[in-house]
Amino acid sequence: MSALTFATAHPPTATKAVILLLFGDPSLSSPSPSSPSIPPLPFFAPLCPSSRFTGFACSRRPFSHYFMSRSRAKFFPYAHEHHSHPPRRLPLSPALTHGVDFSVLGSWADDEGGVMWDAHAIAHAVHGKVLAEGGAGSICTDTRTMRAGQWFLALTGHNFDGHSFLYQACEKQCAGVVANWVPHGWSRGFVQVEGDTLDALQALASDVRARFWGPVVGLTGSVGKTTARAMTTLALQGLNGHVHQAPGNFNNDIGVALTLLRLNSRSVACVLELGMNHAGEILELANTAKPDVRVLLNVGPAHMENFPGGLEEVAAAKGEIFRNARPGDLCIVNADDPLAMAVPLPAGVRVVRFGRKEGSDMRLVAAKTINRGFGISVILEHVARYARYANSLVSDDPVRNPNETVTRTRVEFEIPSPGLHLAINACAAAAVATNLGVPLESVARSLSMFQPIDMRCQVEAVGPASHVQILVINDCYNANPMSVEASLQLLQSVKSNRRIALLGDMFELGEISLSSHKGILQLCVDFKLDLVIVVGTCFSEAAEFFKGRDIIAFRNTSSLTNHLARFISPGDSVLVKGSRGMRMEVLVEAIKSCAESWQSTEHSQA
């Protein structure tokens, strides 16, 4: 952060702090009995023992092992810079930190809805006009969740127009609106913008991003984004502060912008999930988010109808997360995925690899199921490389470079959630956290508290506790071939009387749709599941190739719901998975209803 930026954010202490930054503390030339002798601070030295990414933005963790990049005014771990040895740890003068609130990482006021704005601040950020004054408040785009005092931004789209809800915003006592127009007699604040109001939303988000001094992590991939985002947020708890993350599935142009607008000024880091279904979308999201840490989890067959060129086109679209990376940005790539590894990276970025492959910087050494398949044991190894001599470079192959020292740290921990696929997500989260200074042991403790996210491999015992229950694996949120295979592997690992898969169609697969659905059914046969029930036209067509197998097809969820009780029994383990449009959660509720009806029948017979 520049001296001018700091002076604006902290005027009472700016002059003293900037002088001390540039010239050191002259009061330390004659040490007093109560303070050690300290040389003046060089320009690049850390400004406080708990600062992390900028001199005056603090995460309350020791950071004297961080170096400042003059080109980007950031601090990076020395272990990944090309320095001959760690910088000296310098105790700091109390005069330097006196009166500065080092716990604040964002230069703004906020409320429960996020960053607060007045009319003129909004107009400045979006290049709009203040036509009516309004009080300070956060931004909201949905009148159903709006609180009094917020600004309503009227988004427009193909199927909706936020301007239709201006009266509802007024009734909820909004501070004002950001819109193209307001009705006659409007009595609230009004910032007028021209053109698409989504551009205004993204401009506000970009303004917040520019004022946030903590690390921003952006993750993308064909599968596992939301789980990896949640795990990364957990792993970053070692920063000893609030880690802001995207709520729910906020991974598109609106969701990413809203996530940034809800940043708390005291958050020590921000973790964003970047999704796409067409080329160019990730690049736009990355332009808004400007992640310091960019993670490519994997590349697989998702949204294939928009990528006729195959997986290489998907890889190129996912790889857009790296395209606008700046020198010094951290780019984390799955070493086990050839398509991910083939994505080109800009010059000057720092590359970290994670995965099972030898030579990975964060290696998944081992993973196995425990507790009858309802948990996993994970062993991770962090490989850190240090340049041994001045002007030497850290190479990709430590065996071939005698000028570097390699240290290995290994941890073993358990995740109390089912699914071996969680291990690689944990590995990615650990790669992020350790490269932001969190010790691997702390990462392991945090990840051992992970719990599945709603409708993503959630395990629930259905039925009365006094009776044999049905075990439901609710993985209904979405589906593509990679994620369905992982879920089937989970079901196979569960110890149960019978293992049943209820599978809904996988959408947006284009020309590979039939072959993909057939491939999933072949997996079910190979895994020797006791019963497979498929729903939807795609799976029904694929099931025609598996006549004589224990595969039953229904055209829609409604028809299956009416017959579900015939197929399931107490003691079964049932996986429910399908694309979002299939609304497979209806079947989860139907299973619960079946269990309740069995209980009622038993009571009436008694």
- 467 in the same domain as 431: no
- 284 in the same domain as 413: yes
Q: What percent of the chain stands above pLDDT 90? A: 69
Q: Give the residue numbers spanning the domain of 222.
A: 212-447
- 413 in the same domain as 355: yes
Per-residue pLDDT at 107: 65
Per-residue pLDDT at 602: 54
The tokens describing 439, both together, are 């010790």
With 50 as the cut, is the pLDDT of residue 93 above it? no
With 50 as the cut, is the pLDDT of residue 62 above it? no
With 60 as the cut, is the pLDDT of residue 12 above it? no
SS3 of residue 545 by DSSP: helix
What DSSP designation does 103 have? T
Looking at 154-158, 467-471, 495-499, which range is the least confident one? 467-471
- 253 in the same domain as 151: no
- 283 in the same domain as 165: no
Report the amino acid identity of residue 596: E
For the chain, the average pLDDT equals 82
**Is residue 104 in a domain?**
no
Are the CB atoms for 489 and 421 separated by under 8 Å? yes
**Is residue 207 in a domain?**
no
Q: Where are the beta strands (DSSP E) in 180-220?
A: 189-192, 216-220
**Is residue 103 in a domain?**
no
**Is residue 220 in a domain?**
yes
**Is residue 453 in a domain?**
no
Which long-range contacts does 589-595 make (Cβ < 8 Å, 24+ apart)?
Answer: 590/560, 590/561, 590/564, 591/462, 591/470, 591/472, 591/564, 592/462, 592/472, 594/470, 594/564, 594/565, 594/568, 595/462, 595/463, 595/464, 595/469, 595/470, 595/570
d(CA 358, CA 467): 48
Overall number of domains in the chain: 4
Q: List all residues 6 or more positions away from 454 whose beta carbon is below 8 Å from its beta carbon.
A: 477
Q: Is this structure's pTM higher than 0.85?
A: no
| Other C-beta atoms lying within 10 Å of the C-beta of residue 181 | 12
Place of tokens 């490989």: 383
> What is the per-residue pLDDT across 271-321, written as a single tens digit (0 to 9) for each?
999 999 999 999 999 999 999 999 999 999 999 999 999 999 999 999 999
> What is the per-residue pLDDT across 350-375, written as a single tens digit (0 to 9) for each?
999 999 999 999 999 999 999 988 89
With 70 as the cut, is the pLDDT of residue 396 above it? no
- 42 in the same domain as 175: no
**Is residue 452 in a domain?**
no
With 70 as the cut, is the pLDDT of residue 570 above it? yes
> What is the per-residue pLDDT across 228-271, written as a single tens digit (0 to 9) for each?
999 999 999 999 999 999 888 899 999 999 999 999 888 999 99
Which long-range contacts does 26-33 make (Cβ < 8 Å, 24+ apart)?
Answer: 27/93, 27/95, 28/93
With bands split at pLDDT 50, 70 and 90, how would you rate the model's confidence at 495?
A: confident
Our separate counts of H helices and E strands in the chain read 19, 26
